Amino acid sequence: MQGPISRFRTAVAATAANLATAASRATGRGAGGMIGGLVAAAIDPNIMASLGGGRPTVLVTGTNGKSTTTRMLAGAVGAKHTVATNDGGDNMDAGIISALLAGKDADAIVLECDELHVPKVAERLQPTAFVLLNLTRDQLDRVGEINSIERALRAAVMAHPEATVVANCDDVLITSIAYDHPNAVWVSAGAGWTGDSVTNPRSGGHVVRSSVTHEGEADWYAVEPLPDGREFRRPTPTYKVEGETLVGPEGVAKLELKLPGRANRGNAAQAIAAAVEAFGVPLDAAVRAAADVDNVAGRYTTVHLGDHDVHLLLAKNPAGWQEALSMVDRDADGVVIAVNAQQGDGEDVSWLWDVKFEDFGDTHVVAAGERATDLAVRLTYGGIGHDTVHDPIAAIRACPPGRVEVLANYTALLNLRRALTKEEDYRA
């Protein structure tokens, strides 16, 4: 319980944060999703816990799909509660504080949380649920070695034995995180990228993905047992995606999503499972909420530039790129791939050599962005015909009139969206 001094400090911090956010918006410096939280935390280091206020909270984390899953889950929980959420994707401490300030009167909290920040955020908010999506190599210069992240997340989750943990049993590292938790709800959400899940993260030894099913399910298992002698094997899911349907304890539900791709069906499955299991949302309401999401922070949207219809896709790491590449319309009139290497992206672009660009076949690509030359080298070795146009706007205009698929990493997409709005022939 807060004393008078603590309450006063929290109130001052909240007021200062609101002023900073308003100033950021008024001066055109951004939506204020970060600055407000930074100011509040500087004044009151305990403000996150104060704002949480013991409300039911779920943290959504993983390498890919956090924003999409959070948007779907917030919509589903909204069927029963008012919800505070960071739907702009600001998923570190400052952004989370800003979301809590904006939703201080909400009944429930649904937050996307960066993997590195989960331990501290969980300690402060004492979540009633975690949603664990996937874990793959990301920005090596920021995030670090993947197994260390797995260990940190495992410790954070196990520190909350009363929480509900909705975990993707098709992902080996995620399974390791939740394997010993007493309230794990297993979801078969798929694992499109398996390059970082070839060994047992706890005891070493190979992980085998078997073509033979185990108890009627697609299987993986570790050839080496856990240190305590137990088998480490894919758990049997309570919820699973089969084609475009979700199979769960309450039967089969059709996933008629507006967002494309197998990965988004997996995101929807975990959002629905969390809403049902942790918040008691009726299954049909949770399914409708997932289906209503049609874009996430400008991703998946189509805008117009002159005589080009521009379809925007985001990818941030090898797993995300591989999934996004599967969504690109090979029959489009043009394809632009934009790569930056700023702090928000990770400055290491060696991941370009992990992505299977060879699948483009005869599709002609325009390489763009700050690291267009690096991308062009990778496309050359992949035998993909391409041009190099560093400016993404110019790259789009260099494509034939019609539909242009644009695949970009974080800052490349952010900068492109800002630049598009300044073009005279731009239409949202």
Q: What is the CATH number of the domain that holds 186?
A: 3.40.1190.10
- Report how many domains make up the chain: 2
Write down which residue in 273, 292, 311 finishes a domain.
Answer: 292
* pLDDT band (50, 70, 90) for residue 347: confident
pLDDT given for residue 249 in this prediction: 95
Using the 3D structure, point to which of 292, 315, 350 is the last residue of a domain: 292
Can you tell me the distance from the alpha carbon of 174 to that of 172, in angstroms, rounded to the nearest whole number?
6
Distances (CA, A) of 314 to 80, 184, 218, 389: 31, 30, 29, 19
User: Is there a single domain that holds both residue 245 and residue 311?
Assistant: no
Determine, yes or no, domain membership for 31.
no
pLDDT tens for 152-209 read 999 999 999 999 999 999 999 999 999 999 999 999 998 866 666 788 889 888 999 8
pLDDT of residue 194: 67
DSSP string of 362-405, one letter each residue: T--EEEESTTHHHHHHHHHHTT--EEE-SSHHHHHHTSPSEEEE
Residue 321: pLDDT above 80?
yes
In a domain, 111, yes or no: yes
Q: Give the DSSP H or E segment for 209.
A: strand 207-214
For residue 106, give the DSSP letter. Answer: -
18 pLDDT higher than 80: no
- H helices of 27-65, in order, are 35-43, 47-52
Tell whether 201 and 350 lie within a shared domain: no
Query: Tens digits of per-residue pLDDT, 371-394?
Result: 999 999 999 999 999 999 999 999
| Same domain (yes/no): 416, 312 | yes
Percent of the chain with pLDDT over 90: 63
- Please say which residue of 292, 318, 347 terminates a domain: 292
Whether residues 187 and 325 share a domain: the answer is no
**CA 135/CA 115 separation, integer angstroms:** 9
Asked if residue 126 belongs to a domain, the reply is yes
Confidence of residue 139 (pLDDT cuts 50, 70, 90): low
pLDDT, mean over the chain = 88
Domain check: are 116 and 224 in the same one?
yes
- Per-residue pLDDT at 244: 92
Examine the domain organization and report whether 288 and 313 are in the same domain. Answer: no
Q: What is the CA radius of gyration of the chain?
A: 22
Pick the range with the lowest mean pLDDT from 12-16, 302-306, 320-324: 12-16
Claim to verify: residue 139 and residue 66 sit in the same structural domain: yes
Neighbours of 37 (CB within 10 A): 28
* Same domain? 282 vs 310: no
pLDDT band with cut points at 50, 70 and 90 for residue 279 = very high
Which of 10-19, 70-79, 205-214 is the least confident region?
10-19
**Does 297 fall in a domain?**
no
Q: State residue 147's pLDDT score.
A: 86
* Range scoring the smallest mean pLDDT among 56-65, 164-173, 211-220, 268-277: 211-220
We report the CATH number of the domain holding residue 408 as 3.90.190.20
Look up tokens 């874990």; give the residue: 135
Whether 36 is in a domain gets the answer no
Do 332 and 254 share a domain, yes or no?
no
pLDDT for position 242: 92
Q: Are residues 242 and 311 in the same domain?
A: no
The predicted model gives 125-141 an average pLDDT of 84
**Average of pLDDT values for 69-93?**
93
- pLDDT given for residue 188 in this prediction: 95
Is 41 part of a structural domain of the chain?
Answer: no
Q: What is the pLDDT of residues 50-73, one digit of tens each?
A: 999 889 999 999 988 999 999 999
Confidence check: pLDDT of 325 > 90: no
- The predicted pLDDT at position 53 comes to 83
Domain containing 401 equals 302-427
**Rounded to an integer, what is the distance from CA 117 to the centroid of its chain?**
14
10 Å CB burial of residue 172 (0-12, 13-18, 19+) is buried
81 contacts: CB under 8 Å, gap ≥ 6:
56, 106, 107, 108, 279
pLDDT for 210 beyond 80: no
Provide the terminal-to-terminal Cα distance of the chain, rounded to the nearest Å: 48
Give the strand pairing for 302-305 and 426-427.
antiparallel
